[in-house]
Amino acid sequence: MTYSFRFDPIELPPEARELRQEVRVFLQQEIKAGTFSPDGGKGSFSREFSRKVGAKGWIGMTWPKKYGGHERSHLERYVVVEEMLAAHAPTRAHSTADRQSGPVILRYGQQEIKQKILPQIARGELCFCIGLSEPNSGSDVFAASTRATKTDGGWLVNGRKIWTSNAHQADYMIALLRTSPSTKENRRHGLTQFLVDMRTPGITTRPIINLTGAHDFNEVVFDDAFIPDSHRIGEVDMAWKQATDELAYERSGPDRWIETFPCLVELVRLVGEEPSERLAEGIGREIAHLATLRRMSLSVAGMLQAGKTPMVEAAVVKDLGTNFEQALPDKVRLLAPPGGDLSPDTNDDRFERALRYATLIAPKLTIQGGTREVLRGIIARGLGLR
């Protein structure tokens, strides 16, 4: 009996290697053109950039061509995503739709909606947000209570979603709504997924400013907002059956270990070509973690491509990855204390900017998209402990 999780070795096919070079060239051109700044100085949300990425054919890459997709492999998609993230490209206007919302619509959406929405996502024209959390349901997703009540030709929605990233900029939300009470036998019963047009009358979005001072979170209030039945995604009351392999994508992608990477890059820049033994060792340790995580994350993409559903492996990647990226700024800070001997002069504060950003966002990394505690529960279940 073996309890170890397998991460199949993966070799990227030649077309993925070529694609990587193509993406790097594109990103360099965009940086030169001033579309974005690799130190994040111009923000992470740009509809203009997303349209250019769409025009390149790099959104909805794995989807069928009849829905605007490009029928390429998950590994090719992986390469595009990691190159964008490593370069700090502003992908937020399309990344949620590309990663999560599009695949859900593709799999469970009604024909008319698939034909209308998916090509627009693939062109980089639509921004999505995800309506899961509520004031009284965070990690306990299936406790959602925002109601969708059947009405003539559709549903009337009442209630509140909270911590909704990008809701103020999104065109659509995929919302998890209560259509029936849960049952004694199945507490996850009674929820249904819907595609919600954010311009629908009765929807109000209010900003929640986070501790970095940025506006990312929102509260979204529904007051008799009407959703046509054609926008229902999947069977009524059966959403719990749907949230399966999409989570493997969400949990194992490069965004789960790369968020604070810029502070390591800037540390390497700061220490120069011949660092002290102590600095070299400190940097080397982090590289060892990063390189191993990337291998594991790529391996999950390979397993998905091979038609497997590595749910537990994806949870392992996210747990290890988010712990790594969260701990990184603290390691970097102790190697090169801000204001210390190595600190940059005032003309160039790329290092301190990257470190400050990484330190401030660190707390959220092990909360968003499934907390550390939820993930470890999933892994423990995978080990047969519960």
Partner 1 sequence: MNDSTDNIIVDTATRILQDLCEPHTINEAENGIWPKALWAALEESGLPLTWVPEELGGAGATLADGFAVLRVAGRFAAPLPLAETLMAGWLLTQAGIPLPNRPLTIAPVHADGRIALGPDGTLSGRARRVPFARNAGHIAALVQRSGEPAVALVAAAGLPIGQATSLAGEPRDDVSFDGVTPEAVQPVAIDRERLVAFGAAVRVQQIAGALEKILEQSVQYALDRVQFGRPIAKFQAIQHNLAILAGEVAAASAAADAAAEACAAPEIAVGEIAVAKVRCGEAAGTGAAIAHQVHGAMGFTYEHSLHHATRRLWSWREEFGNEAEWAARLGRMVAARGADELWPFITVGS
Residues found near partner 1 in the complex (CB under 8 A): 1-5, 7, 9-12, 16-17, 20, 82, 86-87, 264-266, 268-269, 271-275, 277, 279-285, 287-296, 298-299, 313, 316, 319-320, 373, 375-377, 379-380, 382-386
- Kindly tell me which of 57 and 382 has the beta carbon lying closer to partner 1: 382
Asked if residues 128 and 167 have their Cβ atoms less than 8 Å apart, the reply is no
Instruction: Pick the closer one to partner 1 by CB: 144 or 267.
Output: 267
CB of 220 to partner 1, least distance (A): 32
Give least dist CB 277 to partner 1, A. 5
Nearer to partner 1, 224 or 281 (CB): 281
Rounded to a whole number of angstroms, the minimum distance from the CB of residue 20 to partner 1 is 7
Residue 201 or 384 with smaller CB distance to partner 1: 384
The Cα–Cα gap between 356 and 8 comes to 36
Q: Please state the closest distance from residue 298 (CB atom) to partner 1, in A.
A: 7
- Residue 161, classed as helix, strand or coil, is strand
At its nearest, how many Å lie between partner 1 and the CB of residue 340? Answer: 18
Smallest gap from Cβ 40 to partner 1, in A, equals 15
Give the closest residue to 165 by CA, choosing from 155, 157, 173.
173
- Distance in angstroms (rounded) separating the CA atoms of residues 84 and 22: 12
Smallest separation (angstroms) from partner 1 to the CB of 338: 18
CB 155 within 8 A of CB 90: no
| DSSP letter assigned to residue 143 | G
Residues 6 or more apart from 385 whose CB is under 8 A from it? none
- Closer of 71 and 281 to partner 1 (Cβ): 281
Structure tokens at 363: 């707390």
Is 79 in contact with 12 (CB distance < 8 Å)? yes
Is the Cβ of residue 54 or residue 302 nearer to partner 1 in the bound state? 302
Q: 98, 65, 53, 73: which is closest to 298 by C-alpha?
A: 73
The answer to whether 325 touches 318, Cβ cutoff 8 Å, is no
Cβ proximity to partner 1, 154 vs 382, nearer residue: 382
According to DSSP, residue 97 is labeled: I
The dihedral over CA atoms of 262, 268, 269, 274, expressed in degrees to the nearest 10, equals: 180
